[in-house]
Amino acid sequence: MFKDLFHKKKYATVPSERPKRDIPEGLMNKCAKCGNIQYSKELEKNLKVCSSCGHHFRLNAWERIQMIMDDGRLTEFDADMLSEDPLGFPGYADKLEQQKMSSGLKDAVVTGEGEIGGFPVVVAVMSFDFFSGSMGSVVGEKITRAIEQAHEKQLPVIIFSTSGGARMQESILSLMQMAKTSAALAKFQGAGGLFISVMTDPTMGGVTASFASLGDYNLAEPGALVGFAGRIVIEQTIRQKLPDNFQTAEFNMQHGQLDMVVHRKEMKSVLTKLLDMHMVKEVVPHGG
């Protein structure tokens, strides 16, 4: 029929068995922010920063360790510590297993000792790909132990945070990790220890409201979401739309909450400079 010419053909959508991908796995990557498609190898050479818009892709703990530690080397602490299911929380044990499988990690933080720019440091690196980087007993304990190790060995501590917040499935135990890690920092910093906090996308809730905000220097990667309450909760409370840049690193710096926003390419050199500034222990004598 003539009329049929103007009708669009209708196709039924058949859900595909495999998750939909625009490009063959691993070869290309699409920027979540600008949509630019780039070769994975190029992206990696660029430290996983979009060459077109500068968007910082999320890194997992080991990618970041590779990037920031001298020779990518770290002597790991507490590599075998595992989460339990202390509340018998519905579904938690299964979810833990599934997260271990999908991320290849044992929990949401890797801690250890190594060098940055030739300076020995203790680092804790969180990973968003394990349980949204949530803090339960293991994350709290590993970070506290790392701070204690640094205290004992008189080394600086650098924590790279990324977290959705506290791990609900451990309820009050996860809340108390905020107090535990902050108290460990009180001891360490009170004794003259240097703590540099680096917040990466996203750092929210109980992690921001404890150790991540307590750096002698608070740094963040460009565009990183850093805040306490989530945007949706706030929008529901105040019944207003929030601006696009709300809770970004730049927004936080503008409001006096951060010392610096540091591009991933500059991160290692900025950390090295900061470490260097704290290595001289004697006070310069008065000049005549």
Partner 1 sequence: MAGELSFEKPLSELRNKIDELKRFGQEKGIDFTDEINRLEQRYAQLEQELYSELTPAQKMHLARHHQRPTSLDFIQTVFTDFLEVHGDRLFADDLAIVGGLAKLNGIPVTVIGHQRGKDTKDNIARFFGSPHPEGFRKALRLMQQADKFKRPIITFIDTKGAYPGNTAEERGQSEAIARNLREMATFGVPIICVVIGEGGSGGALALGVGNRVLMLENAIYSVISPNGAASILWKDASKADQAAEAMKITAKDLKDFGIVEEIIPEPRGGAHRNLEQQADSIKDALWRHLQELSAMTPDALVEDRYMKFRKIGIYASAAASSGEAGKDEEQLTEPIETAPL
Provide, rounded to whole angstroms, the least separation between the CB of residue 177 and partner 1.
Answer: 6
Distant-in-sequence, close-in-space partners of 208: CB < 8 Å, separation ≥ 6 = 161, 163, 165, 199, 226, 227, 228
Stretch that binds partner 1, among 2-10, 12-20, 63-71, 186-194 (CB under 8 A): 186-194
Nearest to 129 by CA among 152, 111, 96, 103: 103
SS3 label, residue 220? strand
User: 29, 103, 213, 248: which one contacts partner 1 (CB under 8 A)?
Assistant: 213
User: 128, 130, 131, 211: which one contacts partner 1 (CB under 8 A)?
Assistant: 211
Provide, rounded to whole angstroms, the least separation between the CB of residue 79 and partner 1.
Answer: 5
Pick out residues in 230-249 that bind partner 1 (CB under 8 A). 230, 233-234, 237-238, 240, 242, 246-247
* Residue 197 to residues 33, 123, 162, 207, 288, Cα–Cα distance (Å): 25, 10, 11, 11, 38
User: 105, 209, 260, 270: which one contacts partner 1 (CB under 8 A)?
Assistant: 209
Positive or negative, the CA dihedral 207, 199, 214, 238 is: negative
SS3 label, residue 211? helix
Task: Centre a 10 Å sphere on the Cβ of residue 237 and count the other Cβ atoms it contains.
Answer: 9
Task: Report the length, in residues, of the chain.
Answer: 288
Q: Of 37 and 79, which CB lies nearer to partner 1 in the complex structure?
A: 79
Stretch that binds partner 1, among 15-23, 24-32, 225-233, 265-273 (CB under 8 A): 225-233
Pick out residues in 125-184 that bind partner 1 (CB under 8 A). 136-138, 140-141, 144-145, 148-149, 152-153, 166-168, 170-180, 182-184
Provide, rounded to whole angstroms, the least separation between the CB of residue 263 and partner 1.
Answer: 23
Provide, rounded to whole angstroms, the least separation between the CB of residue 164 and partner 1.
Answer: 10
Pick out residues in 249-288 that bind partner 1 (CB under 8 A). 255-257
Pick out residues in 62-101 that bind partner 1 (CB under 8 A). 75-84, 86-87, 89-90
Burial level of 194, CB count in 10 A (0-12/13-18/19+)? buried
Q: Of 13 and 240, which CB lies nearer to partner 1 in the complex structure?
A: 240
Q: Of 42 and 235, which CB lies nearer to partner 1 in the complex structure?
A: 235
- Single-letter code of the amino acid located at 179: A
SS3 label, residue 39? strand
Provide, rounded to whole angstroms, the least separation between the CB of residue 281 and partner 1.
Answer: 23
Provide, rounded to whole angstroms, the least separation between the CB of residue 193 and partner 1.
Answer: 13
